[in-house]
């Protein structure tokens, strides 16, 4: 802790670039094992919401930008910026639940897993992200593609209000009635938001009591026909069924051959209130002719949020190196999956995968109103390069970018939370509708005229 900590009146800690503890702290700021060489001048770990305006004042006095971190799960390490004060909010983990009004107040460092565990005590749920360790801060600001999207919508649809500190240090509340334009931006602007959110007020839902999963795996070569069938089936699925495909190396339950073959898996989870309802809503998958041809089929297995989160942790193990991109597309799913299948067959790492969630933010326009977040296409996919050896960084990134070069001509946009923002300036802009982007940039000019917050990578 340097003298600046006292001068700024911080309750938390301040570590300068060059201090002995800087490197360890810097390393811990990003969840991804791949850490870009961008070095903030100062890292402030806030101990309270009061530290936020103090850190902003300190940054101004030193002519530094302010980059914000809630949980450090940005794949492209958006909180790491040159010439910045990195304001780490991960210690702000307060949460209060009001079961009567079915609302909660949460601070940005709370993780989805912590929130789900707390809510389950009250028989309540919230559409947190699919991996338990993702903090609500960056996730909610980006839109949030979480569990049960057909019913809950993107997570930001359930954000009722925020408390934030603006670039000039003012503490403001925003909701549909008060500062609605800043509230609109806070529901989707993600890693380019131009204020620091210290609290979110959330709408909660009754916990579905009969969560049930069905899954099938097929050889990778079947990706296209399986996708075509799934696309037909998905049209008729109840909104309470979350369906998707994964292209990945087979798990031990599919094959113990070495090297393991690659497979395409279809998973569907029903968020129902009775076993009967769950089994009924998953029936279109059981009845689909592809079910007969599956290498592995698991049908109507009861599960719960805790198990779903355990599965999420398994998809994204810690300590690997990750490079990720996203694509919305209006092309048909079969054509997209044929291309993804070819890309997967050439992936230089066994750990890489492509996720293809079906309607990941719902198709209900009522759940997509008054937010910067937009559904930009009929289909959506996310390729992940995953590896361990730093010597392979260039090869793995090349695979991801080649895959995207093939897919992009069929694309209609990106999802800002998981887009490969360093790949080019257009990634951020193409994560919004043209009107949405113009509105965001106009709001940025109004709320942050001096550019205190660094906007989207790669700027
Ligand atoms: C393993 C894993 C699984 C994921 N699963 C999902 C998923 O299921 N659905 C989904 O939608 N996304 C998912 N994501 C993406 C995730 O939502 C984003 O990376 C998100 O930014 C993570 O939130 P964070 O608070 O950790 O972000 P951080 O890395 O801490 O911050 C990223 C950026 O967000 C902004 N920011 C963060 N907090 C604040 C704040 N309080 N105030 C102002 N600005 C802030 C800053 O600009 C910051 O640079 C996943 C990511 C990982 C690594």
- Which tokens sit at 165? 């500190």
pLDDT at 1 over 60: no
The C-alpha atoms of residue 102 and residue 104 are separated, in whole angstroms, by: 7
Rg, Å, the chain Cα set = 22
**Phi/psi of residue 355, nearest 5 degrees:** -105, 140
pLDDT at 2 over 60: no
Q: Are 231 and 171 within one domain? A: no
pLDDT at 258: 84
Ligand 1 mutation target, pool 33, 34, 48, 73, most atoms within 8 A of CB: 73
pLDDT at 182: 98
Q: How far is the CA of 193 from the centre of ligand 1 (A)?
A: 12
Query: Residue 319 belongs to what domain range?
Result: 210-429
In a domain, 453, yes or no: no
Task: Please enumerate in sequence order all residues whose Cβ is within 8 A of that of 287, keeping only pairs 6 or more positions apart, or say none.
Answer: none
The C-alpha atoms of residue 35 and residue 33 are separated, in whole angstroms, by: 6
Q: Which atom of ligand 1 is nearest to the CA of 133?
A: 1
The C-alpha atoms of residue 229 and residue 118 are separated, in whole angstroms, by: 39
In a domain, 459, yes or no: no
The C-alpha atoms of residue 283 and residue 300 are separated, in whole angstroms, by: 9
pLDDT at 176 over 80: yes
Atom 17 of ligand 1 has which residue's CA nearest to it? Answer: 139
| Tokens 């290498």, located at residue | 295
Threshold 0.95, pTM exceeds: yes
Mean pLDDT of 424-431: 95
Q: Are 60 and 100 within one domain? A: no
CATH code of the domain containing 386: 3.40.462.20
The C-alpha atoms of residue 156 and residue 368 are separated, in whole angstroms, by: 9
pLDDT at 257: 84
pLDDT at 6: 66
- pLDDT tens per residue across span 208-265: 999 999 999 999 999 999 999 999 999 999 999 999 999 999 988 888 888 889 999 9
- Which tokens sit at 282? 């998953």
Q: Are 100 and 185 within one domain? A: yes
Question: Alpha carbon of 94 to those of 10, 49, 89, 364, 376: distances in Å?
Answer: 19, 10, 11, 32, 34
- At residue 3 the predicted structure's pLDDT band, cuts being 50, 70 and 90, is low
Mean pLDDT of 78-84: 98
Q: Are 123 and 150 within one domain? A: yes
- pLDDT tens per residue across span 281-309: 999 999 988 888 899 999 999 999 999 99
Q: Which atom of ligand 1 is nearest to the CA of 108?
A: 41
pLDDT at 4: 66
H or E stretch at 60? helix 51-61
Q: Are 79 and 137 within one domain? A: no
Q: How far is the CA of 107 from the centre of ligand 1 (A)?
A: 14
Whether 72 is in the pocket of ligand 1, judged by its Cβ within 6 Å, is yes
H or E stretch at 138? helix 136-142
Q: Are 344 and 220 within one domain? A: yes
pLDDT at 358 over 60: yes
In a domain, 458, yes or no: no
Contact yes or no for 390/376 (Cβ under 8 A): no
Q: Are 22 and 112 within one domain? A: no
Q: How far is the CA of 456 from the centre of ligand 1 (A)?
A: 13
From 65, 88, 111, give the residue that closes a domain.
Answer: 88
CATH code of the domain containing 151: 3.30.465.10
Mean pLDDT of 403-421: 98
Whether 149 is in the pocket of ligand 1, judged by its Cβ within 6 Å, is no
From 66, 88, 110, give the residue that closes a domain.
Answer: 88
Whether 128 is in the pocket of ligand 1, judged by its Cβ within 6 Å, is no
Q: Are 250 and 282 within one domain? A: yes
Q: Which atom of ligand 1 is nearest to the CA of 191?
A: 47
Whether 323 is in the pocket of ligand 1, judged by its Cβ within 6 Å, is no
Whether 12 is in the pocket of ligand 1, judged by its Cβ within 6 Å, is no
Q: Are 333 and 423 within one domain? A: yes
Q: Are 76 and 112 within one domain? A: no
In a domain, 346, yes or no: yes
386-413: b or e for each residue (b if 16 or more CB lie within 10 Å)?
bbeeeebeeebbebbbebbeebbebbbb
H or E stretch at 208? none
Question: Alpha carbon of 6 to those of 75, 139, 266: distances in Å?
Answer: 33, 32, 55
pLDDT at 7: 66
Mean pLDDT of 383-410: 98
pLDDT at 213: 97
- At residue 313 the predicted structure's pLDDT band, cuts being 50, 70 and 90, is confident
Whether 40 is in the pocket of ligand 1, judged by its Cβ within 6 Å, is no
232-255: b or e for each residue (b if 16 or more CB lie within 10 Å)?
ebbeebbbbbbbbbbbbbbeeebb
Total tally of structural domains belonging to the chain: 3
Contact yes or no for 8/297 (Cβ under 8 A): no
CATH code of the domain containing 75: 3.30.43.10
| Range in 37-41, 256-260, 358-362, 449-453 the model is least confident about | 256-260
In whole angstroms, what separates CA 29 from the centre of its chain?
Answer: 17
Average pLDDT taken over every residue of the chain = 96
In a domain, 123, yes or no: yes
Question: Number of H helices and number of E strands within the chain?
Answer: 14, 20
The C-alpha atoms of residue 242 and residue 236 are separated, in whole angstroms, by: 12
Q: Are 375 and 442 within one domain? A: no
């Amino acid at each position: 802790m340097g003298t600046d900590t006292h001068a700024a009146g911080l309750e938390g800690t301040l570590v300068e670039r060059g201090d002995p503890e800087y490197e360890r702290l810097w390393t811990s700021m990003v969840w991804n094992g791949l850490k870009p060489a961008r070095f903030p001048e100062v890292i402030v770990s806030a101990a309270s919401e009061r530290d936020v305006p103090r850190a902003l004042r300190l940054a101004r006095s030193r002519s530094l930008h302010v980059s914000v971190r809630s949980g450090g799960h940005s794949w492209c390490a958006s909180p790491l910026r040159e010439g910045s004060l990195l304001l780490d909010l991960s210690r702000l983990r307060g949460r209060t639940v009001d079961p009567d009004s079915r609302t909660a107040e949460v601070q940005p460092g709370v993780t989805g897993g912590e929130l789900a565990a707390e809510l389950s005590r009250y028989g309540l749920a919230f559409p947190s992200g699919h991996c338990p360790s993702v903090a609500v801060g960056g996730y909610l600001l980006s839109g949030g593609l979480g569990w049960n999207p057909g019913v809950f919508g993107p997570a930001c649809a359930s954000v009722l209000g925020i408390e934030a500190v603006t670039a000039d240090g003012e503490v403001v509340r925003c909701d549909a009635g008060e500062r609605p334009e800043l509230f609109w931006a806070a529901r989707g602007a993600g890693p380019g938001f131009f204020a620091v959110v210290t609290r979110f007020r959330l709408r909660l839902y009754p916990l579905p009591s009969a969560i049930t999963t069905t899954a099938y795996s097929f050889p990778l070569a079947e990706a296209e026909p399986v996708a075509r069938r799934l696309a037909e089936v998905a049209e008729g699925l109840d909104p309470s069924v979350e369906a998707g495909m994964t292209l990945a190396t087979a798990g031990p339950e599919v094959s113990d051959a070495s090297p393991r073959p690659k497979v395409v898996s279809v998973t569907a989870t029903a968020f129902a209130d009775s076993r009967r309802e769950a089994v009924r809503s998953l029936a279109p998958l059981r009845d689909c002719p592809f079910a007969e041809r599956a290498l592995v089929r698991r049908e109507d297995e009861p599960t719960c949020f805790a198990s779903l989160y355990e599965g999420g942790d398994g998809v994204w193990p810690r300590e690997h190196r990750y490079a990720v991109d996203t694509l919305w597309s209006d092309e048909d799913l079969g054509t997209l999956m044929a291309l993804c299948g070819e890309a997967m067959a050439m992936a230089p790492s066994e750990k890489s995968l492509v996720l293809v969630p079906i309607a990941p933010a719902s198709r209900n326009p009522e759940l997509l109103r008054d937010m910067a977040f937009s559904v930009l296409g009929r289909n959506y996919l996310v390729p992940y390069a995953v590896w361990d050896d730093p010597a392979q960084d260039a090869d793995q990134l090349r695979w991801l970018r080649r895959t995207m070069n093939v897919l992009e001509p069929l694309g209609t946009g990106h999802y800002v939370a998981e887009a490969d923002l360093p790949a080019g300036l257009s990634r951020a802009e193409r994560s919004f509708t043209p009107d949405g982007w113009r509105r965001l940039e106009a709001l940025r000019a109004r709320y942050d005229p001096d550019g205190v917050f660094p906007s989207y990578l790669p700027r």
